[in-house]
Amino acid sequence: MKNSAAFSKTTSPRTRKLTLIGLMTALLCILGPLTAPIPISPVPISLMNFAISLAVYLLEIKGGTICLLVYLCLGTVGLPVFSAFSGGLGKLAGPTGGYLIGFIFLALIQGLMMKIFPGKNAAAIIGMILGMAVCYLFGTVWLAFQLNTPFVSALSIGVLPYLPGDGVKIILAAFAGPKLKSALRRLHLTA
């Protein structure tokens, strides 16, 4: 507590925000490669949407989106931060590339809902659900193209198996996000 109070007194709000963006980007880089493959799909189970939602809770629309874009840039240039410790432009061009790009919309839509309805956790949850739907749309269209399969087939292997787990991740983010934000406010590390 003493160190965080000293940090918050000696640094500008901008420096604190950049530090949080760096920390949340690091969290994405740690959780991004940790995946569990499932036999029916080339899309692994990951905690990325959970981590992105937490980043948006803590950093809001601008900071959360910047955090995600930095993560995507790190992976695109070859750092092994994407699923299964992979990286490079080829990963974005592969079967899961649409989902990676779709994560941008998750951050933007959740952040926008939180900006329009500040302090309303229901708005954040609706933003996560809508953002995931758009992410799924991008991912499914790209997966169908990559596998040369109909959209419905891509939907059945790229979305349907993940819905229950993503529902749980949304609930966890909706519970943990406000608590983490409140803790950071008490430490004077965020607005």
pLDDT tens across 45-93, in order? 999 999 999 999 999 999 999 999 999 999 999 999 999 999 999 999 9
CA distances (Å), origin 8, targets 15, 54, 67, 180, 188: 9, 21, 21, 17, 6
| Under 8 Å between Cβ of 140 and 154 | yes
Dihedral pair phi/psi, residue 86, rounded to 5°: -110, 170
Over residues 86-122, the pLDDT tens digits come to 999 999 999 999 999 999 999 999 999 999 999 999 9
The answer to whether domain 2-186 has CATH 3.30.43.10 is no
What the block records as the tokens of 164 is 């229950």
Buried/exposed 148-181: b ≥16 CB within 10 Å, e otherwise: eeeeeebbebbbeebeeebeebbeebbeebeeeb
Percentage with pLDDT > 90 across the chain: 83
Overall pTM surpassing 0.85 (yes/no): yes
**Which pLDDT value is given to residue 169?**
96
Average pLDDT (4-32) is 85
